[in-house]
Amino acid sequence: RTQFFAHLHDLSLAFFDRQRLGDVMSRVTDDVEEIEDLMLSGLASALSYAFQLIFFTAALFYLNWQLAIVSLFVVPLFWLAARHFSRKIKVAAREERRRSGSIGAVAEESLSNAALVQAYNRKDEEVARFHRENEGSFNAQMAATRLGSLFSPLVNMIELAGVVVVVAFGAYQLSRGNLTVGGLLVFMVFLGQLYSPIRGISGLLNSFYSASAGAERIIEFLDEKPSVTERKDARELGRAEGRVEFDGVSFCYQDKEAPALEDVSFSVGPGETLALVGPSGAGKSTAAKLMLRFYDPDSGVIRLDGHDLRDVTLRSLRENVAVLLQETLVFDGTVRENIAYGKPDATDEEIEAAASAADAHDFIQALPEGYDTAVGQKGRLLSGGQLQRVAIARAMIRDAGVLVLDEPTTGLDAGSTEKVMRPLQRLMKGRATVVISHNLMTVREATEIAVLEDGRVTERGTHADLLEWDGAYARLYRLHHAKSQAVGL
């Protein structure tokens, strides 16, 4: 399970873009558990049954080789029955495991959006959706159980037929004086012991094929290869100065026809700030993902300090980039652990210094357990502004040469935005910073502003230059400024 989990983390984001998280989790937990159950109990039982089969078969031949040969005539019948039922049980087991994954996917999706479900009174619809998947899983389990229930009595009938034939042949041998009654009884006792492991093996079929179906689902993911890979001769980056360059970069997502970026070029150096602005879907966040090599461009080159990103190791690249994503991501741990995520070996003094620089120290100290306060799943115990300042502290402690800010003030009110912008400006100092923002009031001081429309850079320049040119940026700025004034009124 641990190796499987590690493999999943090696896969590129493109894999997770097309998978349902609940189904992935089902494979990590339930499918692996099916294999574990078979390995822990089923394998031991199978070995025991195999030993018993060999021992009692040898004993039967030792007692009376003629009766032994007659008793084995049912073996082809056992094989034919097992072959017929195994195909159907395998199909049912595959459907059962698939349905189990679907249940996990629906449950994860529905419960993670509990607020939306309750706000729109969609509980009944969600329960009905879950019930459909649950009912499908139950039906698949019942199909496998029914097949197992039919197979077991069939095995008993074949066993009975074998006993009848042996008794008949034994009676014939008795009549000819070639066998004693005691010899026949002893043979029948050992024959009964031979059929016992056969019944046991038939009972393992359901477990075996359920584990086999789970293994197929796991192998399906193990066969997945990351779309972003390191070259064998990839070099380690030291401490990067922070000079980022996009040179004719184009990129299209696999499930899209229109390119997300097309022939995009820009650069930003240490101490400089490049702002990427434009309408939703223009490709701004895609540029940030390419900078971290979550994806590779279809054409063009992205360089850091003159090095093609594909020529450096992923670890050293990402160690030189600090990120504040559009959604503030935290783990269900303490404030201390979440800040130290940017630098796992950070001391308490470094953590508190980073928090102070992010204007987070005071509110953290006021929490019930201070830095050891749990933030809850997805940080639900902290406000949006507090979460963002924890994320800023995490970026501070990483001390990377390149900073990527993807909508750092999204969802924050004016007061919280002001509290976040002050530490952000400290964080940006001396670093190559790429800011992605819809809030044009926060990018006016950028060294350069690039306007993206339909994946292309249509305008570049300073805030003053772009206003003077009276193009797309000027229109966006006037619209945003008018909205800000209306809100202020």
CA–CA dist 34, 31 (Å, integer) = 5
Tell me what pLDDT residue 414 has.
Answer: 67
Residue 64 makes CB contacts below 8 A (sequence gap 6+) with 179, 183, 187
Provide the CATH topology of domain 244-488.
Answer: Rossmann fold (3.40.50)
pLDDT over 80 at 402, yes or no: yes
pLDDT over 50 at 97, yes or no: yes
What share of the chain has pLDDT > 70, as a percent?
96
Question: Strand, coil or helix: what is 262?
Answer: strand
**Which one has a higher pLDDT value, 180 or 265?**
265
| Residue 394 dihedral angles phi and psi, to the nearest 5° | -65, -40
CA–CA dist 351, 349 (Å, integer) = 5
Extract the tokens encoding 276. 């990427």
Give 188-229 pLDDT, tens digit per residue: 888 888 777 877 777 677 678 778 888 888 998 899 888 888
Residue 74: how many CB atoms within 10 A of its CB? 21
**Which one has a higher pLDDT value, 30 or 311?**
311
pLDDT over 60 at 176, yes or no: yes
pLDDT over 90 at 249, yes or no: yes
List the single range of 96-105, 258-267, 397-406, 412-421 with lowest mean pLDDT: 412-421
Average pLDDT, the chain: 84
pLDDT over 50 at 489, yes or no: no
Integer angstrom CA distances of residue 126 from 117, 121, 165, 357, 378: 8, 10, 59, 45, 22
| Confidence tier at 391 by pLDDT (50, 70, 90) | confident
| Confidence tier at 93 by pLDDT (50, 70, 90) | confident
Kindly list the domain boundaries of the chain, sorted by start residue.
Answer: 2-222, 244-488
Tell me what pLDDT residue 413 has.
Answer: 65
- Please tell me the CATH superfamily of domain 2-222, with its number: ABC transporter type 1, transmembrane domain (1.20.1560.10)
Give 344-379 pLDDT, tens digit per residue: 888 999 999 988 988 888 889 998 899 998 888 778
Tell me what pLDDT residue 279 has.
Answer: 82
Integer angstrom CA distances of residue 56 from 63, 66, 68, 98: 10, 15, 10, 40
472 neighbors 459 (Cβ within 8 angstroms): yes
Give 11-21 pLDDT, tens digit per residue: 888 888 888 88
Extract the tokens encoding 216. 């197929």
Residue 251: how many CB atoms within 10 A of its CB? 23
